[in-house]
């Protein structure tokens, strides 16, 4: 039997949960302690993103014990970025903090984020100063990706800031009002503008369980980030087309002159021809592929499906995302 949540909420914490049964109790203990220390009413909104390992039962047990816990259960696994969006849509606090459930982002840092909010910031990024993680590949690939994104993207997305951050109520509402399906929340937050601030922290190793971001999901997130925030790949395709056409034109002139001057015979030059044809075919296929990525995303948007479906929630939650 669910108890009624606290009436006035100042701080909301959003926690996406996907198969985190082993770590969730420890997370909750640390997060509650950190929030209680702030001395203002808070809620912790857990979003179960279609977990298959009993996370939901653990979360229900937490809700029985703790009035500050609110739950949203999505109808299936929609992915980290959508789980975050669903969680934000269900918060009521004046601040909204997004944090992972695996204790890689220390909940104690929330106090520092809130301090910046008190100083007037609408968006406070938690920037990773150091990473104490096992996989060197992950650290290196993430770092390369953030830098590539900065070069490609039209909005200024902070380097080395993940999804751990605080939003003011108006920033959170603006984010919820953005309807796009390919959600790259970091980019969307950067697009919002408003006053921003930064807090640096040390990213720990995962407390329990495995990463839910295998290479395929990381590549997918990277593509979403690039495609949703930049048309530069399209421009690169155009530039590539110009470069190849110009070289082909120059080659045509040179070869014609050489031919007329009698320096090359008819049969010679087959190899260079073959190479040119292959090169052109490759460039064209890449370009079509880039176009296809954008067209696919447009298709995704125009179907206008809801972002996610909720299977279970407490009485104050909204039921369907828009």
Q: Select 101 or 237, whichever has its Cβ closest to Mg ion.
A: 101
Taking the least distance from each CB to ligand UDP, the nearer of 121 and 149 is: 149
- Using rule CB under 6 A, residue 186 touches ligand UDP: no
The tokens describing 183, both together, are 């959600």
- DSSP3 helix / strand / coil % (the chain, rounded to 5): 50, 15, 35
Contact string 42-81 vs Mg ion (x = CB under 5 A): ----------------------------------------
139 scored as a contact of ligand UDP (CB under 6 A):
no
Work out whether 23 is an interface residue with ligand UDP (CB under 6 A).
no
Task: Please pick, from the candidates 101, 126, 167, 188, the single residue that binds ligand UDP as defined by CB under 6 A.
Answer: 101
CA dist 42 and 95 (Å) reads 9
Number of residues located near ligand UDP, criterion CB under 6 A: 16
Q: How far is the CB of 89 from Mg ion (least distance, A)?
A: 22
Tokens read off for 36: 């209680």
Q: Which of 20, 43, 122, 224 binds ligand UDP (CB under 6 A)?
A: 20
28 binds ligand UDP (CB under 6 A): no
Residue 212, binding choice from ligand UDP, Mg ion, none, Cβ under 5 to 8 Å by partner class: ligand UDP
Range in contact with Mg ion (rule: CB under 5 A) among 104-112, 119-127, 160-168, 280-288: 104-112
Helix (H) or strand (E) holding 175: helix 169-177
Asked if 104 is part of the footprint of Mg ion (rule: CB under 5 A), the reply reads yes
95-98 and 11-17 as β-strands: parallel, antiparallel, unpaired?
parallel
Q: Angle CA(47)–CA(51)–CA(52) in degrees, nearest 5?
A: 160
Q: Which two tokens stand for residue 116?
A: 């910046």
Task: Give the span between the Cα atoms of 119 and 111, in whole angstroms.
Answer: 13
> Considering only 116-124, 207-215, 226-234, 255-263, which stretch makes contact with ligand UDP by CB under 6 A?
207-215
- SS3 at position 246: helix
φ, ψ at 155 (rounded to 5°) = -105, 155
User: Which of Mg ion, ligand UDP, none does 20 bind, CB closer than 5 to 8 A by kind?
Assistant: ligand UDP
Rank residues 91 and 104 by Cβ distance to Mg ion and give the closer one: 104
Tokens of 154: 């039209």
| 102 scored as a contact of Mg ion (CB under 5 A) | yes
What totals of helices (H) and strands (E) does the chain contain, helices first? 10, 8
Distance CA 104, CA 215 (A): 19
Of these, 11, 80, 116, 165, which contacts ligand UDP (CB under 6 A)?
Answer: 80
Residue 44 CA to residue 41 CA, distance in Å, equals 10
Distance in Å from the first CA to the final CA of the chain: 29
Beta carbon nearer to Mg ion, 17 or 157? 17
Among positions 213, 234, 241, 314, the unique one binding ligand UDP when judged by CB under 6 A: 213
User: Is the C-alpha dihedral spanning 241, 243, 246, 250 positive or negative?
Assistant: negative
**Least distance from Mg ion to the Cβ atom of residue 166, Å:** 18
Name the nearest CA neighbour of 31 among 5, 65, 68.
Answer: 68
Is residue 102 within the footprint of ligand UDP (CB under 6 A)? yes
* Contact footprint for Mg ion (CB under 5 A): 100, 102, 104
* Contact footprint for ligand UDP (CB under 6 A): 16-18, 20, 49, 77, 79-80, 83, 100-102, 104, 211-213
């Amino acid at each position: 039997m669910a108890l009624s949540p606290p009436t006035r909420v100042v701080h909301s914490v959003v926690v996406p949960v996907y198969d985190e049964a082993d770590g969730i109790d420890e997370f909750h203990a640390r997060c509650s302690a950190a929030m209680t220390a702030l001395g203002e009413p808070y809620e912790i909104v857990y979003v179960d993103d279609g977990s298959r390992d009993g996370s939901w039962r653990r979360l229900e047990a937490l809700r029985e014990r703790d009035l500050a816990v609110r739950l949203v259960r999505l109808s299936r696994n929609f992915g980290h970025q959508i789980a975050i969006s669903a969680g934000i849509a269900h918060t009521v606090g004046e601040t909204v903090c997004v944090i992972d459930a695996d204790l890689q982002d220390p909940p104690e840092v929330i106090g520092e984020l809130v301090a910046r909010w008190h100083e007037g910031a609408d968006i406070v990024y938690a920037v990773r100063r150091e990473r104490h993680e096992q996989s060197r590949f992950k650290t290196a690939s993430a770092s390369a990706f953030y830098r590539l994104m900065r070069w490609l993207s039209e909005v200024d997305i902070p380097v080395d800031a993940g999804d751990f951050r605080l939003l003011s109520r108006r920033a959170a509402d603006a984010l919820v009002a953005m309807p796009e399906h390919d959600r790259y929340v970091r980019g969307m937050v950067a697009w919002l503008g408003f006053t921003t601030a930064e807090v640096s922290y040390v990213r720990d190793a995962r407390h329990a369980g495995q990463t839910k971001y295998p290479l395929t999901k990381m590549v997918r997130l990277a593509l979403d980030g690039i495609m949703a925030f930049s048309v530069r790949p399209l421009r690169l395709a155009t530039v590539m087309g110009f470069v190849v056409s110009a070289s082909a034109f120059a080659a045509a002139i040179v070869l014609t002159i050489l031919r007329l001057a009698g320096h090359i015979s008819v049969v010679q030059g087959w190899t260079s021809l073959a190479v040119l044809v292959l090169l052109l075919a490759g460039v064209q296929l890449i370009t079509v592929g880039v176009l296809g990525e954008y067209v696919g995303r447009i298709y995704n948007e125009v179907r206008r499906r809801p972002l996610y479906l909720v299977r279970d929630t407490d009485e104050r939650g909204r039921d369907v995302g828009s």
